[in-house]
């Protein structure tokens, strides 16, 4: 933090002098906040110029709480007591709430008139931003330093150029040096030296910063030399191509995350519909039950929201799975071989479940909190960043898919499920208890629906109607992929998601969805058994 020791001590001398002068010249400000020195008195004065000087003073003394004070100022949370002449932090400026002074002593606000906010004007806001950026430039963390340079790009002044150049000499991080170079190059574009200009354009070539682009655009429109203009245009073109490329990557990423949602919603159905041949119209409601389970778990552990999701996944699997087994034992087992009847009966069940949720929880949507570790983003470059929640959804979808594949291919239950689904009579005669297998398979499919509900609770509101929103999507994915084929479900879900996101900017969200539905309707005409049809005798049915 002390790269400028010489200058700092020099300034410190000046500022001390200033404080002493103020002390004598303004006896009215008798009590001074000892922690901030003269700066506090200046901040409490009425004139913005004085306040601005107060900020400079904080920086010059390299006061340890500078950035904190700046943040409070820009959040409008810094007040002063009119009589005491002391600074206070007030988050809720309401009588009866607490005002905290900078040492942390609390005081109840008796009258609102006692306090006055330290107001800012636009010039001061600019100053605060600049100081914050310059402070960030000296931060210990290279990422913070990079962000600080990026902030400075917006408004490069001779002062910032000097600061940047000094920083460059001692900067160790390659990324930060690169960023400083870009900043300096943007500044150099204003010069009239052809060599400097050409170097600057070369430096900016391929830079994805918004400011680099606008600087180049501005340069192209004013450039004197045709040669330099040409060079800048080529650089711009390169940048635009790169931006477009990342735009495609982003669409792909959004598409894959939407597709993962579709796969999650559909994959439980791929088991109950695809493997067992049961049209379960209550599938959406099983998803809903999973989402509500997440909600209840969060209510049960309000102090550990961070971990609630991890608890909710197995819980939702068990709850939805048990409901599924109850549905199978109570209704579906009487209707095997009559798919249209199962459709009607399970639709009835879905209505009952919806109303049950409505009566239990209220018809209003419930919001489920997202843990901190799931929000945020990974910034790859200025035009491309990965939202963490979407990344988790994609990973989660793949994990669920692989787990399910392993269950069906590698476990005894999986073997029995496949046996029963291919030839019930034969399987029974080989000693497989088909009733038990049916119940467990249905439970498995329902449990997976519940897990999907946990994931969906992080994306949308949890409400009694959420199941209906996903049932048609789920069926589309399974039918498109080919019934009885988990891989088909994966491919279908992901490709539908990507296609939807590709269409969206062109057609709008609703129309994109309509087009997808029409596409699937037409697709089924061509390939009635989906992308990956089942072959052999089992397929006739």
Burial grade of 153 (CB within 10 A; 0-12, 13-18, 19 or more): buried
Token pair of 494, please? Answer: 């992901």
Give the residue with the Cβ less far from another protein, 215 or 483: 483
CB 381 within 8 A of CB 246: yes
Query: What is the nearest approach in angstroms of another protein to the Cβ of residue 268?
Result: 16
CB 225 within 8 A of CB 259: no
Query: What is the nearest approach in angstroms of another protein to the Cβ of residue 510?
Result: 5
Burial grade of 178 (CB within 10 A; 0-12, 13-18, 19 or more): middle
Query: What is the nearest approach in angstroms of another protein to the Cβ of residue 355?
Result: 4
Query: What is the nearest approach in angstroms of another protein to the Cβ of residue 368?
Result: 24
Query: What is the nearest approach in angstroms of another protein to the Cβ of residue 441?
Result: 18
Query: What is the nearest approach in angstroms of another protein to the Cβ of residue 272?
Result: 12
The helix, strand and coil proportions of the chain, stated in percent and rounded to the nearest 5, come to: 70, 5, 25
Give the residue with the Cβ less far from another protein, 395 or 521: 521
Query: What is the nearest approach in angstroms of another protein to the Cβ of residue 435?
Result: 17
CB 460 within 8 A of CB 452: no
Q: Of 424, 466, 483, 474, whose CA–CA distance to 448 is shortest?
A: 474
Instruction: Produce one character per residue of 418-443: b if its CB has 16 or more CB atoms within 10 Å, e if not.
Output: bbbbeebeebeeeebebeebbbbbbb
Give the residue with the Cβ less far from another protein, 131 or 331: 331
Q: Could you write out the three-class secondary structure of 153-165?
A: HCCCCHHHHHHHH
Give the residue with the Cβ less far from another protein, 116 or 513: 513
Query: What is the nearest approach in angstroms of another protein to the Cβ of residue 523?
Result: 10
Site for another protein, rule CB under 8 A: 279, 281, 331, 334-335, 339-345, 347-352, 354-356, 358-359, 468, 472, 475-476, 479, 508, 510-511, 513-514, 517-518, 520-522, 524-526, 528
In the three-class reduction of DSSP (H, G, I as helix; E, B as strand; rest coil), residue 531 is classed as coil
In the three-class reduction of DSSP (H, G, I as helix; E, B as strand; rest coil), residue 78 is classed as strand
Give the residue with the Cβ less far from another protein, 111 or 537: 537
**Cα–Cα dist 516/500, whole Å:** 7
**Cα–Cα dist 43/206, whole Å:** 44
Give the residue with the Cβ less far from another protein, 15 or 421: 421
Q: Of 253, 315, 358, 276, whose CA–CA distance to 450 is shortest?
A: 315
Give the residue with the Cβ less far from another protein, 393 or 476: 476
Give the residue with the Cβ less far from another protein, 8 or 469: 469
Query: What is the nearest approach in angstroms of another protein to the Cβ of residue 461?
Result: 18
Give the residue with the Cβ less far from another protein, 131 or 531: 531
CB 289 within 8 A of CB 319: yes
């Amino acid at each position: 933090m002390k790269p400028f020791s010489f200058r700092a001590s020099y300034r410190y001398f000046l500022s001390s002098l200033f404080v002493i002068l103020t002390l004598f010249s303004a006896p009215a400000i008798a009590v001074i906040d000892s922690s901030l020195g003269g700066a506090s008195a200046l901040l409490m004065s009425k004139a913005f110029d004085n306040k601005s000087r107060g900020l400079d003073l904080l920086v010059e003394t390299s006061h340890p709480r500078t950035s904190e004070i700046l943040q409070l100022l820009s959040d409008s949370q810094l007040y002063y007591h009119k009589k005491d002449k002391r600074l206070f932090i007030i988050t809720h400026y309401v009588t009866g709430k607490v005002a905290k002074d900078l040492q942390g002593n609390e005081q109840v606000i008796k009258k609102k008139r006692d306090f006055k906010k330290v107001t800012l004007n636009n010039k001061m806001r600019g100053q605060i931003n600049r100081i914050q950026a310059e402070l960030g430039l000296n931060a210990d963390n290279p990422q913070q330093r990079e962000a600080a340079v990026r902030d400075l790009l917006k408004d490069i002044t001779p002062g910032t150029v000097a600061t940047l150049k000094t920083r460059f000499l001692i900067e160790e991080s390659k990324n930060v040096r690169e960023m400083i170079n870009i900043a300096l190059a943007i500044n150099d574009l204003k010069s009239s030296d052809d060599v400097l200009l050409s170097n600057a354009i070369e430096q900016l070539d391929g830079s994805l910063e918004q400011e680099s682009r606008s600087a180049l655009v501005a340069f192209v429109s004013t450039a004197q030399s045709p040669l330099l203009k040409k060079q800048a245009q080529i650089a711009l073109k390169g940048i635009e191509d790169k931006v477009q490329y990342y735009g495609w990557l982003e669409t792909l990423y959004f598409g894959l995350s939407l597709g993962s949602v579709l796969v999650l919603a559909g994959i439980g159905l791929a088991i109950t519909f695809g493997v067992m041949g049961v049209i379960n119209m209550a599938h959406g409601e099983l998803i809903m039950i999973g989402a509500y389970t997440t909600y209840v778990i969060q209510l049960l552990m309000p102090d550990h929201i961070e971990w609630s999701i991890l608890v909710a996944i197995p819980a939702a699997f068990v709850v939805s799975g048990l409901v599924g087994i109850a549905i199978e034992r109570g209704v579906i087992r009487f209707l095997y071989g009559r798919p249209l009847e199962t459709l009607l009966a399970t639709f009835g069940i879905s209505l009952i479940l919806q109303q049950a949720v409505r009566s239990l929880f209220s018809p209003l949507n419930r919001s489920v909190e997202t843990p901190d570790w799931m929000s945020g983003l990974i910034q790859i470059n200025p035009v491309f960043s990965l939202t963490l929640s979407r990344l988790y959804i994609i990973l989660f979808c793949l994990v669920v898919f692989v787990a399910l594949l392993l269950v069906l291919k590698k476990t005894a239950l999986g073997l029995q499920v496949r046996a029963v689904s291919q030839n019930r009579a034969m399987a029974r005669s080989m000693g497989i208890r088909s009733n038990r297998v049916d119940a467990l398979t249905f439970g498995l499919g329902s449990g997976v629906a519940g897990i999907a509900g946990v994931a969906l609770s992080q994306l949308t509101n949890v409400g009694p109607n959420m199941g209906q929103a996903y049932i048609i999507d789920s069926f589309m994915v399974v039918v498109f992929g080919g019934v009885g084929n988990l891989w088909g479900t994966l491919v279908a879900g992901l490709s539908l998601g990507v296609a939807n996101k590709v269409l969206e900017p062109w057609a709008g969200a609703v129309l994109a969805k309509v087009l997808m539905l029409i596409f699937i309707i037409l697709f089924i005409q061509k390939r009635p058994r989906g992308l990956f049809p089942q072959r052999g005798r089992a397929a006739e049915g």
